[in-house]
Amino acid sequence: MAQRSDAGIPRKVTPAESSFAGPQGPPEGDELSDALREVLTLTQLTRAVLAERLAMPLTNVEAVEHVIMAQAAGEPIGPVELSRRLGVTSAAGTQSVNRLVAEGHLTRDPHPRDRRRQVLDVTPSGLEHVMGELVPLLRLLFGAGQNLSDTERAGARSYLLNVAAAYRVYISDEDAKEAN
């Protein structure tokens, strides 16, 4: 069963991850699930606030984030891949890229190995603009785990890794449905 890594690259789902396939009905909530739902809801609200503070459409903020993450992973990303990751048409993706280039947030250069393709990079001013708003949030999130004991941190990490694995299974199942 194929799935995408954090960088959007297909990879196999491990047997432990595939064990998340649960019963057909909606699962009963528990304290962890309730807390996770609250975090996910607040994450969406925070992304909207971030876009507002940056005076950018949310799709453009997400585009810059994808380019930053691709750069950090050492994996060049172009307009076509960016459109796929954003879940928008290539025309809409191109429109976002054009706007971000015009605003000085991104550059568009020839791919180092395939001159027919393009590579997107975040400009220093674009990185400073986005990170200027993100760093305070990242500091708050870092502080959220500072008072946990090693055992609590291990439990929280294990839970979050299990949640990530569950998402991978769900995404992989969606990929399988789209292929049919």
Q: What is the pLDDT of residue 178?
A: 59
Predicted confidence (pLDDT) at residue 10 exceeds the cutoff of 50: no
pLDDT tens digit sequence for 39-62: 999 999 999 999 999 999 999 999
134, burial (CB in 10 Å: exposed 0-12, middle 13-18, buried 19+): middle
Q: What is the chain's mean pLDDT, rounded?
A: 85
Q: Please tell me the distance from the alpha carbon of residue 123 to that of residue 73, in angstroms, as a whole number.
A: 17
Residue 98: pLDDT band by 50, 70, 90 thresholds? very high
144 close to 160: Cβ distance less than 8 angstroms: no
Q: What is the pLDDT of residue 60?
A: 92
SS3 41: helix
Predicted confidence (pLDDT) at residue 8 exceeds the cutoff of 70: no
Residue 23 or 129, more confident? 129
Residue 121: CA count within 13 A, CB half-sphere: 10
Backbone conformation region of residue 8, classed left if phi is above 0, alpha if psi is from -120 to 50, else beta = left
Mean pLDDT of 58-85: 92
Q: Where are the beta strands (DSSP E) in the chain?
A: 2-4, 10-12, 106-110, 118-122
pLDDT tens digit sequence for 105-121: 999 998 878 778 899 99
Predicted confidence (pLDDT) at residue 180 exceeds the cutoff of 60: no
Which tokens go with 79? 């307009």
Q: What is the pLDDT of residue 113?
A: 80
Q: Please tell me the distance from the alpha carbon of residue 133 to that of residue 52, in angstroms, as a whole number.
A: 10
86 close to 66: Cβ distance less than 8 angstroms: yes
Residue 40 or 75, more confident? 40
Predicted confidence (pLDDT) at residue 175 exceeds the cutoff of 50: yes
pTM over 0.85? The answer is no
Predicted confidence (pLDDT) at residue 4 exceeds the cutoff of 70: no
CA neighbor of 62 nearest in space, from 8, 142, 2, 9:
8
